[in-house]
Amino acid sequence: KMNELPLNTILSNPSVAMMVRITATTTSGKQLQPTDMERALRAADVMLELEENKEKILRFIASRMKVIASNTSALVGSEIAAKLLALTGSIQKLSQIPSCNIQVLGALKRNAQAGFLINNVPEHFGIIGQCELVRNCPWEMRQKALRLVAAKISLCARVDAHKPPGTFNATVGEKLHKECFQKIEKWQEPAPPKPPRPLP
């Protein structure tokens, strides 16, 4: 039965697992022929292998981020920087993308049939929404933080794209990370009390 399948061990996203389970229990279908079943299982194996290879490539790129994109890594972390480079192709290409487009890189597509987003993530919330600076924000401030971090990524990528090959210098990224952190902390401070109004 579909309810007994351990989908959470196969699909990393709980919302996707839920959608698969609901679709399977509410859709009338027919049993696959042996040849079709074999073809479907082969396709599933290929997809799993591709996903595994993608993770290996991302781990390798992340391990090289401190040399390839030291400032971008200092700002958002090696894993997020690696995903940004995987999406764009290189640090040079990332440096040419406007910050308004950087913030939507890797954004989830709206599910046209279900009418909602996976994990209730806003439509224009890209991969940098997973970085610590944005993730640790209160929910109502995350879009604002996303725009701030995207602008700083644009600066860091330009610095990384034009630094001498093989050099490690993350001064700019570390400085901008500190600036972002302090600015986000400032946003969360309570507003100063209004001065008492003089009596007429």
Tens of pLDDT, residue by residue over 106-147, are 886 544 344 444 444 455 678 999 899 999 988 889 999 999
What is residue 159's predicted lDDT score, i.e. its pLDDT? Answer: 94
Residues in the chain: 200
19 is a domain residue: no
pLDDT level of residue 52 (50, 70, 90 thresholds): confident
pLDDT at 1 over 60: no
CATH number at residue 72: 1.10.246.90
pLDDT at 2 over 50: no
Task: State how many domains the chain has.
Answer: 1
197 is a domain residue: no
151 is a domain residue: yes
191 is a domain residue: no
162 is a domain residue: yes
pLDDT at 65 over 90: no
Residue ranges of the alpha helices (H) in the chain? 7-10, 14-26, 34-68, 70-76, 78-88, 91-95, 99-102, 132-135, 142-162, 171-187
102 is a domain residue: yes
Task: Give the pTM.
Answer: 0.67
Tell me the two tokens of residue 141.
């401030």
6 is a domain residue: no
21 is a domain residue: no
pLDDT level of residue 27 (50, 70, 90 thresholds): low
What is residue 133's predicted lDDT score, i.e. its pLDDT? Answer: 93
- Listed ranges 8-22, 47-61, 115-129; the one with the highest mean pLDDT: 47-61
CA angle 92, 50, 79 (to 5 degrees): 45
What pLDDT digit, counting tens, does each position of 172-184 carry? Answer: 999 999 999 999 9
Cα radius of gyration (the chain): 22
User: Which is more confidently placed, 12 or 77?
Assistant: 77
Average pLDDT of the chain is 82
Residue 51 lies in domain: 32-186
What is residue 154's predicted lDDT score, i.e. its pLDDT? Answer: 95
